[in-house]
Structure 1
Amino acid sequence: MVETVKTGVEGLDSVLNGGLVENATVLVSGNPGTGKSLFGIQYLYNGVREFDEHGIYISFEENAEDIRQAAESIGFDEWGDLVERGDIKVYDKSTMLREGDFSSAIDTLLEDFANASYDRLVLDSLTMFSLFFEDEKEKRTYLLKFSDILKQNGLTSLLINEQGAVFPETEIGLENFLTDGNVYFIQTPTDSGVNRYVWVAKMRKQDIDTDIFPMEIADGGIKVYERAGGFSMMGREGPEAGF
């Protein structure tokens, strides 16, 4: 039987048939504002508070204070305490970009892995990660190397990927093949705001539900409505569609 790691996101673990496959590397894609980073924060926060699993948050875009404020904005008021205690380790942009090259950044992480035990990791985001490399071949080589390092250290990881399109890109990049799962966050405009959705397109070794499900972001984080599959994303009404 496949071992899984629960995200702790209401509804999503049911869609995932129990959670993320243990030791998997999962690509989380979507356009800006869809909730990808909040999902990463919630994944680590729930990991500590609900499952006693420690985590690492790597950000190339935000500083530690920005990340703390984002966590508190959805009711995760203990985020700062968890970071201070070392239950969640944050490598923010001031640390990662200071290294100047990917090899130096990796060496910093490897030193940490050797001295502490972690279960979960979030990388935010692959877009900024790509700036370390001069060409696509080099990027793909190091992405594969990085993915192997995560697996060797027993981490179940989320790699956040920015995309410009509202709907998932039709062109499949190599990142999709190097990762064990693909999760897309989608939002569509309405007269009153936006509707939000999540789509688990792939999860190796798992029998998943590949419908597109409505979700919302509120106090307490993301909630997925797994009983609302098979609907039209455009013009959907009702409280389960988000806000």
Structure 2
Amino acid sequence: MSTGKQGKLDFKMGWSGRLARGWARLKQILAQTFRLSRRGWTRLVVRERFLVGALSFLALTTVGWGIGRRLSPSAAPMPLVIEEKPAVSAETGAGDYETLLRELQAELAALQAQMKTADPAQTASEAEAGPVFNPLKLTPPVAGKVTKRSGWEKKAGEWRYHSGVDLAVPPGTPVVAAAAGTVGAIKTDPALGTVVVLDHGQGWQSLYGQLTGIQVVTGQQVGQGALLGYSARTSCGPAPGIHFNLYHQENPVDPLTVLNLTQQ
């Protein structure tokens, strides 16, 4: 073989060997890189799982602590301080209610007295004139004493307002009209028994309870002092007698502010 051909052959074989060695080196580098990538990915996944588990544990711990705080009673609740006058509690007895009611009535009476004494001249003229307010010039339906006046009272465990007055008279006492008017109604009431209602006009009405032997009929015109009936044996007050009340525009009016009635 000539020297030129031998040189070309040596050159090709040297180039092929270098290529083979380079390719082998490249495969080795790729294999090492792939192994390192798998290891890195595995480590990343392990780290993520660890972080997720740690965060979940912390979240559950926080929620459990909050629920425990809500369920557990407070260590020292703040006291409620009320500087104003305390209201009557549910445990207050009937005696305390009555005492409070009497105090309120006394305060109201004192206020009314102050209003009257504010103008002495007017008070003197009213005393000379007689009743404070008597537009119909009413007369008492019976000559009896007041055994119960208007005000709050306790019945069957409940507080109720007693409007009007109870007048004590013997059973069978004649009951007359306090003023002229028309018989508006004759009815039976569970508490007042047989009742006669007179309409006097201008929004005024009078009521007579605990009657018997009624002498009038509905729609009848009666004059002042006309016989309406007789007092029954029953009464809503502490003694036998009648119940008498006044209304103006359907609002109760205390008869003691209109009539001069004898009080016990």
**Under TM normalisation by the shorter chain, which class is it?**
under 0.3
TM-score, normalisation: structure 2: 0.21
More helix by share: 2
